């Protein structure tokens, strides 16, 4: 006879594997790996929006004094917060009544379910990885607000990101580099770097696609070609630009960096914010049945967003691929 509690098995299996799924999603993406390494993966527990605190101004009370000079102590409004919508993603795992009959033994049922959950895990990993580069407009604006939203190609133009209008607030504008060719690539990247350094703050991760990666490697001077063993040891091929890791994010299936862009990231100010109660877990209620089909369904779900607390230290460079 068929094992009766198949939906409970699906839910329990997803629950038991939720930590593994989250780890695999992180480990299979260089950006998320870097954010977790630097403690920038910060789950949130509730609220209508995700708030990411930021500093938008210096404290005007700072200054020089001598002896008994009076020191200014006026209140300084220098802290605010960007706000981000909670985005949701899901992948249903289904099993038909016929499949339950065909996989009558408990062990057979678990094997079938685990194989389907494994597919759901990789599907969700690809969904999140692709979303990290998105502008958040896909699926009617339900997609995660990725790097294309955080790093505008027209930073001085109209555009609201994190609830802040970049046309009004100049501190909320990222750097955008003019189109680079193979002949001007290093000069353009050098210019981008110089516009993104603030004391000890500077980009630590540069993501690019297969074409950009190959062109960059081809024009490297001999004394610039250093690999980073730590990043390479995490499974991501990388070379150095200045002291930032340049990482290839290209691969089969199209879940990679968009063509023609170098993403200059200062990951001190980029935050991966999954919901603490919705990070690849089964949705409740556990038992879900189709009213007009002989089938049972369990849904693996995720909620959260990618947030930025400083856009001025982030940049992108367009690459035409021509000489």
Ordered DSSP codes for 114-166: HHHHHHHHHHHHHHHHHHTT--S-HHHHTS---HHHHS-SSTTSS-EETTEET
pLDDT score at 2:
40
Residue 198, helix vs strand vs coil:
strand
pLDDT score at 173:
94
Domains along the sequence of the chain with CATH: 6-55+82-319 (3.90.1690)
Structure token pair of residue 253: 């299936």
CB atoms within 10 A of CB 138: 13
pLDDT by residue for the chain (323 residues), tens only, comes to 344 455 556 666 666 666 666 666 776 788 888 998 899 999 999 889 998 877 555 566 666 767 776 766 565 454 478 899 999 999 888 878 787 777 766 666 666 777 787 788 888 888 888 899 999 999 999 999 999 999 999 999 989 999 999 998 898 999 998 877 778 888 899 999 999 998 888 999 999 988 888 888 887 754 455 555 555 445 566 788 888 999 888 666 545 688 889 999 999 999 999 999 888 888 876 667 677 888 878 888 899 999 999 999 999 998 876 65
**Nearest-angstrom CA–CA distance, 68 and 60:** 20
**Nearest-angstrom CA–CA distance, 238 and 233:** 10
Longest dimension (CA), the chain: 90
């Amino acid at each position: 006879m068929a094992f009766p509690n198949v939906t409970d098995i699906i839910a329990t299996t997803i629950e038991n594997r939720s930590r593994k799924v989250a780890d695999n999603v992180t480990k299979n993406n260089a950006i998320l790996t870097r954010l977790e390494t630097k403690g920038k993966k910060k789950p949130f527990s509730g609220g209508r929006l995700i708030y990411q605190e930021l500093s938008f101004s210096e404290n005007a009370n700072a200054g020089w004094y001598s002896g008994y000079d009076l020191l200014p102590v006026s209140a300084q409004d220098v802290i605010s917060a960007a706000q981000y919508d909670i985005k949701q993603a899901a992948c249903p795992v289904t099993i038909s009544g016929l499949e339950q009959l065909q996989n009558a033994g408990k062990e057979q049922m678990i094997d079938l379910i685990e194989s389907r959950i494994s597919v759901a895990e990789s599907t969700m990993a690809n969904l999140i990885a692709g979303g990290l580069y998105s502008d958040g407009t896909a699926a009617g604006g339900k997609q995660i607000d990725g790097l294309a939203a955080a790093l505008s190609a027209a930073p001085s133009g109209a555009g609201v990101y994190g609830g802040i209008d970049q046309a009004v607030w100049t501190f909320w504008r990222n750097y955008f580099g003019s189109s680079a060719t193979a002949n001007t690539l290093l000069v353009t990247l050098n210019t981008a770097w110089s516009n993104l350094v603030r004391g000890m703050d500077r980009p630590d991760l540069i993501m690019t696609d297969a074409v950009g990666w190959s062109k960059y490697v081809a024009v490297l001077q001999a004394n610039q070609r250093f690999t980073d063993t730590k990043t390479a040891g995490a499974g991501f091929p990388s070379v150095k630009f200045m002291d930032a890791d340049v990482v290839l994010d290209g691969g089969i299936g199209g879940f990679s960096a968009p063509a023609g862009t170098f993403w200059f990231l200062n990951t001190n100010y980029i935050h991966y914010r999954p919901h603490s109660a919705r990070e690849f877990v089964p949705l409740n209620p556990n038992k879900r049945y189709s009213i007009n089909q002989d089938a049972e369904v369990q849904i693996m779900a995720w909620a959260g967003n990618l947030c930025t607390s400083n856009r001025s230290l982030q940049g992108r460079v367009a690459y035409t691929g021509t000489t």
